[in-house]
Structure 1
Amino acid sequence: MAMMDNKAFLISHIRNSFITSDDTGMCEMIITLDDDKNRNGYTSDSGMESSENELSHSYDILPDMDYGAHRRRSNTSQRLERMKKEKRSQSRAKSITWKDSNTVYSVDEKGHLFEKKVIDGVEGQDRSPALSRLSELIQASANLGDNPFLEYAKFDGMASVGVPTKKIDIFLTMASAEDRSYPMSVVVVSSAKIQDLVGLICWQYTNEMREPVLQENIDMYCLHIAEDDGEVDVDFPSLDSREPVSKFGFTKLALVEKDVPTYTSKKTIIVTVNIPHRGFNKFPIDNTNILMKEILEKVLKRRKIKVRPGQCYNLEKDSVPGVSIDLECNLASMDTLEFVLVRENSSRGDATEVDNGKSSEMAESLTSHHYKSYLVSMVHKLRTNTEVQLGISGEKVDIDPVVSKSSARIFRQKAVTYNADNIASCDIFEDKDGGKSVFRLAYFNGHEFKHHDFEADTAVCNEIVQKFNNILELRLSPVRKEYVANRDRKLMKKRDFALI
């Protein structure tokens, strides 16, 4: 405690601490210089005379001074270090001064500095020199001219890094017959719209110098769904040009010219095949000499009907029910373009006669989008079925519960309305005893696909299913397309898994 009260000891300790902790040596020089001044009686900067008992003042403590375990190097030390590094860098560089030579270069003694090389394959002086590969490409690109679809090159996924892309095989319906079966692969960024994809296809088509030359207006072209063999699915309209590419799951599309579609000629014949309870399909036929068995194969392929062992399908004329046609005959001998797909040992008359004389009313309902309601039971898994009024039109679907006094309030079904464009499918789900059936209505709720199951008489279920399918065939909403694409992918995965 005596040492701590000794001012001279404390001041000496502080001075020595400054000197020993300073890497630059500045404190030692200043403190030593102040000691010499004090001992010799020099005056301070303030003009006052310093005595031997007075001690020199230390520097004022500033707010930006560093306190901590690691002390920051001073500016002088850092500047000296930089100067050392620059000296080391300069020592590695060598400067050479250019001086003109007084002597004349002798070609005879030392040879040519840049001798002319002889290119193989060029003989004589009159022939033009051979071009390098780069020169050929430059000359070829100069002859191509400007690509009118250059603005759509930014949607090329091959040139984009770090963004989601999608690869689509495009069948070119305007190409020659031998090239039409081979699609052109296009990689597009997922954020592009269908219209941008059409422009990208035209840009790539022009760059690859394909024939014939396209029209410079992309509004003259549209995209259709295509089969694996390149056949255009005319049952569906072209994809909406305003929709994003990521909304659709198709991997094969066809580029079609709007004014004169090349997949059909002016004399194309449209054959209609009706499928009982499942709607209809239309097929463009170029030649009436086509055999009826080929049309049957087209229907089975389009509907993806798998013929099991022991089953057999045939065609009937729409105007002659119950009489199967000869599949070896051609279309020209049929005298009609309306046919019905039937399965052997089954009858299509059940679809019109089971309704007890109401077939005309049912047909009228199926061929129009007029509103019609049905009394059905809504099937629930964990509670009893609920009677509801199912209203169907070409614009919306209403599900209104039939409220009774005996219904428990907690289990009452809420009324709900769905836009027709959000309906994905409607199919018979289960056939029950006693003339009852269950049909499933699939819909899109904005986030995912869900479904409702309804039970009613078999005839009523068939009418409802056919009415829904008729509406879906005519509207062809994006929800319906996406649902069918997802369902087909799942079926293919199951089929591939079964073959393993």
Structure 2
Amino acid sequence: MALYDNKHWLLSHIRHSFIFSDESGFSEMVMMDEDLRVPSMKAYPDLDQDEEDEDGDAPRSLDVNCDLDFGAHRRRVNTAQKLEKMDLERKRIAKMTSIKWEDPLPNVAEVPSNAFERKVLDNAKKDKVKRTSTLSAQLKDCPVLLKNPFFDYSKFDGNAQVGVPVKRYIIFLTMLPERERNYPLHVTIVNTAKVKELVGLVLWKCSEERNAQLEDESAYALHIAEDDGEVDWDFPCLDEKEVVSKFGFNYLALVQKTEVLKSRAQTVSMPLSSLGWSALAERDEKEIEGAEESALQQQAMKEAEMRMKGHMTAMEAPLYQSFQVYILNRVRVRSAVHLGISGEKIEIDPVVQHKATSQLWGKRKAATYDITRIAACELVNQRSSKSHFRLVHQSLTEDPTTTFKTLEFEAENFVAQEIVQKINHILELRATPVWKEYLVTKERKSTRRRSFSFSLK
């Protein structure tokens, strides 16, 4: 196209060939200032009149043709048409089923005689020696082992349980020889087991680990013990029907019941003059002996009941119990709270108060004190219907020296006495270092006061 020298023809060619297909608009920008006027047809000397000019002088484009791509319809691509045909053919074939025709086998009218011929086995295989495995030989040579009579209690072992709450005990075996008593047995048992099952589990572990000759589980009982293995005979044995989760003791002792009866045997002696027997001196000697025995039995029964009541109170002390009391602040204003006491912690939950009271004195927050931080609980003031008691606890400070803080409460007389007795029983059973340190500090202060009073005298 560069060989053409006619500017008019070039402009016409660009105008009709490129403007329609140029979407960027560069062709119009090139021709913006190149508009030439044509005065007459003489400006086209190089163009000859031919058959193409018969239609007129109107310019027309050389490359622009009418096609179906313009407008709303667009000619489909051959690939799309081919894919559509293939899809239709595939659907048509999917509905068809091809069956391969095979000629049927000819019917066998008669079975040959040698089709199922009897086979004669070699007699040498029958005389083959029977083999015995090594495991069978070992089981045959192993002596018959006696079944452990306490094996049924092994299912309560907490070491074999996963995701089940358990309790751990250190149990001293008092029925073993002297050299083995100082080595306690560490036992882990599930919380749902009973005391009788704990005894059976201890006997099973003892028979498995120490090969001791033991009696039936009914001949033994569990008692509270100190950390050095000494049995606390002041408390009765644990009830066999109770669940182990009820008791919060860590150290126990397995004792034969014959030893328990010997330790419990007591002799009660009373002078006759103290019971008023002088008026019966003239009566028959048999009547005096009968009255003496009945009086002694009644007094012994009363003492046993009182002792048992105290023991049961001490054993039930670790169980959770809630009391409604009043806590006193620094200005002696009372606030109702729920005091929850268990063998692990002491909880103080405030009761919902009126808005006026809470706005005046401030809303009290709930607090929880671990039992290892409790030092003492004692009655402070006892009135006709109300009593004040004080709870001493260790303060959480960075100071290396132990400091104690107090909380004062008010409750009914019997409620205050029950709370003080319950907390003191728990402290005696746990014997925490804070409790021991508080007792030493209290004893030291009392000694200083006595020495100071003697110096004044």
TM-score normalised by the chain length of structure 1: 0.34
The structure carrying a bigger helix percent of its residues is 2
TM-score normalised by the chain length of structure 2: 0.36
